Structure formats: C-alpha cells, structure tokens
A = this chain, B = another copy of it.
Amino acid sequence: MLNPAAISSHTAHPVHAACMPLRMTSSDPFELLKAHVSVNRRVVREGDRVHQVGQPLEWLHVIHSGSFKTVNLAPDGREQVVGLHLKGDWLGFDGIARGQHTCDAVAMDIGEVWSVSYAALLQASTRVPALAALLHAAMSREMTRERNAMMTLCTLPATARVAEFLRVWVESMSERGLRTDLITLRMTRAEIGKYLGLTLETVSRAFSQLARANVIDFPEKGRRHLSITDPDALSRFVQRSQTDKEDLPRAACVANEPCMVH
C-alpha cells in the first residue's frame, strides 16, 4: 500500500527540486538535527512515557531506536492504540496545534529518543530549510500512514486486518534495514486488538488461521516470535479477502472529468 520497494521513503526527501535550493550536506535526519539544534538523548525502558495527554508541548522527539506506541484516551474511558512508531519516526506532533499533547507515547521496549525543543527547532528551521523540509516530510508521512490505517480498519475483515498489520510491520522493518524473516511481537494479543479494533480472541484466531494457511509460522513454542514464510503471501491474503467478495466484473470506473488545478 505504501510503496512498492522503497528504502528511500524514510530519509528526508527533496520534495520538489525547486524546494531545496541548498546543498544537501546530509540526508540523514539524525546528522541534520545534531548539526543544527541542541539534542537531548535519552534512553527509555518498556512502559516509559515519552509524553502524556495534557502535558504542555515543549519537546519533539525522534526515535533513534526501539519501538513505541501512541495511545488515545477518550474522556469516557475508551482507549485505543492509534499508532506504532520506529526509528526515524517523530513523536509529539499531536501537541503542536493546541500547545499540549493529546495522546500518550509509550515505549514498547528499550530504546533511545532524541528530544529537541520545539521552539528551538522552529527557529532553526528558518535558518536551515532542510530542517523544515524534514519536519514536513515526517508529518506528512505520519498522516499518510494514519489514513492507510483507517482504510485497513474500515475495509478489511478481521484476518486480513491482522495480515495487513504484519505486512506493514515487515515493510517498516525492511525500510530500516532490519531483519524481516523472524520478527518479535512486542505487543500482546489484546494490544494488537486495541490497535486493529478487534478482540484479543479474534486476533488469536487470525494468527492461527494465518499459520494454518502457511502464511506465517511460529518457530518457537512461545507465540511472541513469528516468521514470515512468504512475505508476498501476506499481500495476497489481503487482496484475496477483497476479490472474494466481489466476484463481479465491477463496472469500469468512469472518470467524471477530473478537473485539475491549472
């Protein structure tokens, strides 16, 4: 869904040739940050909160290592995991609009975040356009990802949702050069369920079903580790769940005069 075979999508893209009237000294976001703003490195352990609902926005954080989840909490007690984040992703954007955070960001294992003052970053990005572009790209990526997640939630049945969840996770690992054959789930079935809008039992059944279909495999007895026997099988599984219900030669989408800008 995101990109065909992309590793690049994770670095600071020159969005448009004209947008970057500067020499790209480095396309590595960490180098770029270190070079132009004061960075506070901080090691976190599982369960540590990088930021919390209601806390005034002061810092933005870039994940240097580890995996994190963002959790939304409604006034009426509803709670949902609304995002998963890995190296290179930013945490804290949610707080910019209102000046305070609207969700929690929680470490799912040991990791390191680089924290920068938002005020300082804003200033620095006026001097260093590449910084501004980096920020924009990160926010844009986040929005696109959330939209895709919404689509997954709305259009896919349970098992396909879990398959898609795994596919995207593998894709994320791959983009970062991490191993994708054997992956370790750092979330319980209940947490995955809270992310996918399913109950823990349904998630469990979905895993079992995928394993029976030889799409995934549990190498060890413990069910936290799993191997993706055939990555393409995941995609095919998702697609099949769609084509199965159609089965009708869908009328060609009539282009109703796509009226473009200019």
- A residues neighboring B (CB under 8 Å): 1, 3, 9, 13-16, 18-19, 21, 40, 42, 44, 47-52, 55-59, 61, 70, 72, 74-80, 82-83, 93-99, 102-103, 115, 118-119, 122-123, 125-127, 129, 132-133, 135-144, 146-151, 153-156, 194, 196-197, 238-239, 242-243, 246, 250, 256, 258-262
Contact = CB atoms under 8 A, between A and B. Distances in A.
Contacts of A139: 93, 96, 136, 139-140, 143
B48 A259 contact: yes
Contacts of A61: 261
Contacts of A76: 238-239, 242-243
Nearest to A259: B48
Given A143-B142, A243-B76, A96 B137 contact: yes
- How many copies the complex holds: the figure is 2
A147 B144 contact: no
B49 A260 contact: yes
A132 B126 contact: yes
A16 B58 contact: yes
Contacts of A98: 3, 9, 13, 140, 144
Given A57-B16, A96-B136, A146 B144 contact: no
A15 B96 contact: yes
A83 B78 CA distance: 22
Contacts of A127: 126
Contact of A42 (B57, B133, B144, B261): B261
B150 A146 contact: yes
Given A78-B151, A119-B16, A49 B258 contact: yes
27 contacts: A9-B97, A13-B97, A16-B57, A16-B58, A19-B118, A48-B259, A49-B258, A70-B147, A72-B147, A72-B150, A76-B239, A77-B246, A79-B155, A80-B150, A83-B147, A93-B139, A94-B144, A97-B140, A97-B144, A98-B144, A115-B261, A122-B136, A139-B143, A146-B150, A149-B150, A153-B153, A153-B154
A147 B103 CA distance: 9
A119 B59 contact: no
Given A52-B258, A126-B129, 18 more contacts: A9-B97, A13-B99, A16-B56, A19-B118, A42-B261, A49-B259, A72-B150, A76-B238, A77-B250, A78-B156, A80-B155, A93-B140, A94-B143, A103-B147, A139-B140, A143-B146, A146-B146, A153-B153
